[in-house]
Amino acid sequence: MEEACAPKPCLEFSTKVQIANESFQIVLAQKSENLLIKINQMNSVPPTSYESEFSKKELDRTSKYFKMFDDINELFPEIQNKFEKNEYIIKKGENSLLIYFNISIKNIPDFSLTIKKSNISINSTVDALCELVNKVLADNKNMQKEIKELKNKITNLENDIKELKQTKLKELKEEKEKNNIIDSDILKNKEDKIMVCNWIKQNTKFKFNLLYKVSRDGDRISTFAEKVKGKAPTLILIKSKAGYKFGGYTTVEWNMTGNYTYKEDKFAFIFSINNKQKFNLKKGGERYAICGDPNHFAFGGGHNLTIWDNCTSSDNSKDYSYNHTYDTTQNYELTGGSQSFYVEELEVYQVIFD
pLDDT in tens, 231-261: 999 999 999 999 999 999 999 999 999 899 9
Q: Residue 8 pLDDT > 50, yes or no?
A: no
Greatest Cα pair distance, the chain, in angstroms, is: 93
pLDDT in tens, 43-77: 776 778 899 999 989 998 888 888 889 888 888 89
Q: Residue 98 pLDDT > 60, yes or no?
A: yes
Q: Residue 118 pLDDT > 90, yes or no?
A: no
Report which of residues 98 and 1 the model is more confident about. Answer: 98
Per the prediction, the chain carries an average pLDDT of 85
Q: Which of 44-48, 105-109, 175-179 has the highest mean pLDDT?
A: 105-109
Q: Residue 138 pLDDT > 80, yes or no?
A: no
For 199-204, what is the mean pLDDT? 90
206-213 and 340-341 as β-strands: parallel, antiparallel, unpaired? unpaired
Q: Structural domain boundaries of the chain?
A: 12-119, 121-156, 190-353
Q: Are 158 and 126 in contact (CB under 8 A)?
A: no
Give strand pairing partners of 14. Answer: 27
Q: What torsion do the CA atoms of 41, 43, 45, 49 make, to the nearest 10 degrees?
A: 10
* Secondary element (H or E) of residue 297: strand 296-299
% the chain with pLDDT above 90: 40
Report which of residues 145 and 36 the model is more confident about. Answer: 36
Q: Are 346 and 237 in contact (CB under 8 A)?
A: yes
CATH 1.10.1200 for domain 12-119: no
Q: Which amino acid is at 255?
A: N
Report which of residues 59 and 174 the model is more confident about. Answer: 59
Give strand pairing partners of 49. Answer: 40, 118
For 22-45, what is the mean pLDDT? 86
Q: Give which of 47, 45, 42 is closest to 16, Cα–Cα.
A: 42
CA distance 62 to 244: 19
